Amino acid sequence: EKGGYPHFMLKEIYEQAQAMKDCMRGRLLEQEKRVVLSAVTHHRERLLNAKRVIIVSCGTSWHAGLIGKQMIETFAKVPVEVEYASEFRYRNPVIDARDVVIAISQSGETADTLAAISLAKERGAFIFGIVNAVGSSIARITDTGTYIHVGPEIGVASTKAFTGQLTVLTMLALSLGKEKQTVSTTEYEEIVAELAVIPDKMERMLVFDKQIAELAKCYTYARNFIYLGRGYNFPVALEGALKLKEISYIHAEGYPAAEMKHGPIALVDAEMPVVVIATHHQLYEKTLSNIQEVKARKGRILAIVTEGDEVVKKLADNVIEVPATLACLSPLLTVIPLQLLAYHVAVMKGLDVDQPRNLAKSVTVE
Ligand code: F6R
C-alpha cells in the first residue's frame, strides 16, 4: 500500500508532482493558455460580485489560505480575510449576502470548519469549498467548490493536500482575475504556462532527499527551530514549522523575516537552527540582511535559495536550491525541502511519522 516507501508521508511527498497534474487535469488548458474552473463558470455573477472573501480553515489548510489571500487580492483585486475556523465561529462575525466564504479542508470533516461555514451560510454568505475528500460533510454543505483531487492522504502530516490546495487557489485567483479583467493577459498567460511546468520542477526537488536526510542528522538534538520567509513564503515558514512540530516534536516557530528584530532574535545563539526561505523574489535583499543578523549571533542557517544563488551560499551553513519560478508559485517548490526536513528529523529520532502522538487525521471534535 505504501508503494515501496517506508512511510505514507514520504510516499505522499514524492507523489506531489503527479497529484498536482491530477489536480490541474481538465482545468489547466495549456494549448489554450487558460484555466477553467466549472465552479467559476457556473457561479460567475455571485463570485464576481463578492465585496470580500473570507477564507476559513485550520492548520495546514489555514496556511494555504494565507497564500491564497495574497493571490486573490493580487489578481482579482477583492479584499480577503483569512480566519481560523475555530475563532470565526465563536466571534459573531459580521457577514452578509455579498460575502463569499471559502472553506479549505483536506478531510472535509473538520468540526470547526464545518461549524464556521454553517454559520456563514445562515447569514447568507455564498460558500465555496476547496476539499479533497469527495462527498465529505464540508463538500456537501458548500454551495459550490473545486475538489483538489490529489488522492487519499493517509499520513497525519498534510503534504500533497497543501500543494493541491495551493494549485486550486492559484487557478481560482486567475479565473476570477480574468473574468474581472483585473489581471493583464500577459501576466495571466505567464502564470498559466508556469503552472504547467511546476510538476517537473517539483520532481527535480526530490534529488535533495538524500542531502536533507544527511542534514537531518545534525538537527535531531535541536530543542527549537525558527523558520523565516517573506511575502508568499511567509506562510511556507509557518507550514515548515508546523510540520517539524507535529512529527519530530521539536518546538519550531515561523515568522515573517522582518519580525525577527521585534523579539525572536533574542532567542538566536549557536544552538538555534534557523531555516530561511530566501528565493529570488519579493524582498530578497531584505531577507539577506536578516540572514546576516542571524549569522552575527552564531545561529545555524539552512537557506532555501533559487538555483545558482551564490550570495546566500557564502553566508548560510547549508543551502537547498529550488528551480527558478514566479513568486506566487514558489511555495509549491519551497515547501518540499521543509516537508523532507521534518520527515527525516523525525525518522532519525525513531518516531512514528505517519501516526504522531496526540494527533488524528481528521479533527471531528472541537
Ligand atoms: C497538519 C495537519 C492539520 C490539518 C488541519 C485541518 O499537517 O494535517 O493541521 O491541516 O487539522 O484539516 P483539514 O484540512 O482536513 O480540515
* Ligand 1 center–CA 360 separation, angstroms: 9
Q: Report pTM.
A: 0.97
For ligand 1, mutation pick of 62, 104, 107, 244 (most atoms within 8 Å of CB): 107
pLDDT value, residue 357:
82
pLDDT value, residue 157:
96
* Ligand 1 center–CA 105 separation, angstroms: 7
At a CB cut-off of 8 Å and minimum separation 6, what does 267 contact?
A: 224, 226
Name the one residue in this structure whose C-alpha cell is 479584499: 79
Tell me which residues have their CB closer than 6 angstroms to ligand 1. 58-61, 105-107, 110, 113, 157-158, 242, 246, 362-363
pLDDT band at 303 (very low <50, low <70, confident <90, very high): very high
DSSP string, 115-181: HHHHHHHHTT-EEEEEESSTT-HHHHHSSEE---------SSS--HHHHHHHHHHHHHHHHHHHHHT
* Ligand 1 center–CA 343 separation, angstroms: 17
Atom nearest to 110 CA in ligand 1: 16
Classify strands 300-306 and 99-105 as parallel, antiparallel or unpaired.
unpaired
Is 361 an annotated catalytic residue?
yes
Residue 272 is classified by DSSP as -
pLDDT value, residue 355:
86
pLDDT band at 60 (very low <50, low <70, confident <90, very high): very high
Backbone angles phi, psi at 356, to 5 degrees: -60, 150
Q: Whose CA is nearest to atom 4 of ligand 1?
A: 59
Mean pLDDT of 243-259: 96
| Catalytic residue chosen out of the listed positions 2, 121, 180, 361 | 361
Nearest residue to 127 (alpha-carbon basis) of 241, 225, 39: 39
Tens digits of residue pLDDT in 184-221: 999 999 999 999 999 999 999 999 999 999 999 999 99
Atom nearest to 362 CA in ligand 1: 15
Percent of the chain whose predicted confidence (pLDDT) is above 90: 93
Atom nearest to 161 CA in ligand 1: 14
Mean pLDDT of 334-359: 94
